[in-house]
Amino acid sequence: MAAVNGPFERAGRALLERADVEVGGERPWDIQVHDERLYRRVLTQGTLGLGDAYMDGWWACDALDQFFDRVQRAELSRYVRVTPPALVGRAVNALVNLQRGARALLVGERHYDLGNDLYEAMLDERMTYSCGYWRDAKDLDEAQEAKLDLACRKLGIDAGMRVLDIGCGWGSFAALAAERYKAAVTGVTVSREQAAYAQERYKGWPIDVRLEDYRDLDAARERFDRVVSIGMFEHVGHRNHRRFMEVAHAMLDEGGLLLLHTIGRDRSSVGIDPWIARHIFPNSALPSMAQITRAAEDLFVVEDVHNFGHDYDPTLMAWHANVERAWDELSDRYEERFHRMWRYYLLSCAGSFRARKLQLWQIVLSKDRGVDGGYEPVR
């Protein structure tokens, strides 16, 4: 076995040296290899092999976030051949609409319906599963409150306005907009657990949460003054970007505004990391700015773009700390392999945002002609 793995080990160690990561080292970002087959698995399967090997206990690292920050900054993927899992993923994403019909509901079933107990332990008091705004915040609750309020102020929400929240989650934005700005909010989600939770928690509020795909919204039945979508566009897919914009445009009254809050990347693509696609967000795809603006052509004027992707790093680290603190209670329901998977997910993403390989955009778009006199950016 050692002879078989020799060339792979030499290549793997050489790659890690580019990121100043040492096998068997003592620094937090150094890795400990528990199974020598790791090198072959990673070099033939790429990020899918790396993540699965971690879940299998083949390697360990005291600070995965620091490891991934270094790996991303060193751009190690440039020195590795495209692996079969990545090629297959690209081909499927290019040829098949993975976010249509029953496939569009899969992310709700496999991720957002995992269990409200997990998300209650991990998230803030309002149950907000998207990037916080940390400019003046001291903790996760304040960062999420600031983000939700920022979105309301960017949209100019006022008393009596009708607001549509596409991908409303557990209702955090709807609750703040209704409570603080006296708006009436309709939210749609493809997660049964999220819909049931929000319907129960906000019973009697001017909030209507539905289990409904955004493509089933009917502009002939209802229209809105504002549309917001926070942390949902990542599940739309490149084949459906235009359809999303058409739905948002149709649902808005004249003079309406859309706020799109989404993770994005700097290069246009049609897929997502194979490990994330398999274990965390099935059938998801991160958009580029070019893909977003192309989808909005002739429908919206882009009024404002705000990138605070660096704020996802402390958000993810706070979520990870919350899960670790609650793990003794969560372990009765979730296995240790899930624990390793969830840790890897949160910390690898934190490292990617820290390295600025992923972005977080809040984009304000106005319907048709644009805001008369110009839009005043809010920060």
CA dist 46 and 82 (Å) reads: 8
**Both tokens assigned to 48:** 């899918």
d(CA 215, CA 86): 29
Distance (Å, whole) CA 147 – CA 141 = 10
Asked if residue 117 lies in contact with residue 333, where contact means CB atoms within 8 angstroms, the answer is yes
Ordered strands of the 252-264 beta sheet: 207-211, 184-189, 162-166, 224-230, 252-264, 359-367, 300-307
**CA of residue 288 relative to chain centroid, distance:** 14
Q: How far apart are CA 117 and CA 153, in angstroms?
A: 31
Q: Which residue type occupies 68? A: F
Residue 378: CB atoms within 10 A of its CB come to 15
Which residue in the list 131, 152, 168, 349 is annotated as catalytic? 349
Alpha-helical runs (H) found in 280-335: 289-296, 312-330
- Strands 31-33 and 359-367, sheet pairing: unpaired
Respond yes or no: is residue 349 known to be catalytic: yes
Length of the chain counted residue by residue? 379
CA 311 to chain CA centroid, Å, is 13
Residue among 73, 59, 91 nearest 19 (CA): 73
| Helices and strands, counts by H and E, the chain | 15, 9
Which residue is it, tokens 């106005």? 366
Asked if 167 and 188 count as a contact pair (C-beta separation under 8 A), the reply is: yes
Which residues are designated catalytic? Answer: 349
